[in-house]
Structure 1
Amino acid sequence: MDKTILNYVVEKTNELINAPTCSSETKEAAQAWLDAVGTDREASETKAYIAELEADIMPIDTLIAFAESDAGAEVFGDDAKNVAAHAKEIKAAGAEYCDCPACMVVAEILEKKDDMLK
């Protein structure tokens, strides 16, 4: 991987780990990738990391459906309707994914996916 891309992804990965909305699975995958950088495991961990990021980023329609569901009400509590309304607003403005801190960083990392796999 190109050093500029590597440095960018390392920086974004650290941001992701520190994002309050980052899931424990994503944090584990991020840390495993960071630990593998510069080792013979880097290529395989990069593929695993990308797969985890792609699985965990929340498509905007999924967020809307979740926020409007009973499960979403359990997670978001009284804010569920606000989350759904916000998601609909950003979707109307062209958003493809949730705009929580973790999803935003994941989207930035995934923009470099092809470069990461070189």
Structure 2
Amino acid sequence: MKKFQKNLSSHPRSKNTIEQLLEIVKTTLASGEDVMISGFRKFQVNEKAPRKGRNPATRGEMMLDGRRTVTFKCAGVLRDRINEEEYNAQTNSTRQRSIHFPGNHKNALR
């Protein structure tokens, strides 16, 4: 990651392009649309309904507002590549290491 950051800081045009891309992704998700980056991933906006919750301090019941969340779905091409690299790393090394790549990663969009 440090190598990526160093290369990015030495190439202002690349940094600007990535920042513009991320801004487009954020704006698109905020408008409620899904974003798909072919061969890499899909960010999908989900609507959560209001639900009953509990205040942990008072133990009193309360209604939690509905909200939107973003779900990350890995593309099959990327998942296959990650699993292939994991297999190669385990067979070429005496040290066993697991890389777990869940299909979803949820973050609240606020």
Identify the TM-score tier after normalising by the shorter chain. under 0.3
Kindly indicate which of the two structures has a greater share of residues assigned to helix: 1
Provide the TM-score with structure 1 as the length reference. Answer: 0.26
Provide the TM-score with structure 2 as the length reference. Answer: 0.28
Kindly indicate which of the two structures has a greater share of residues assigned to strand: 2
- Whose relative contact order is higher, 1 or 2, with alpha carbons under 8 Å and at least 6 apart? 1
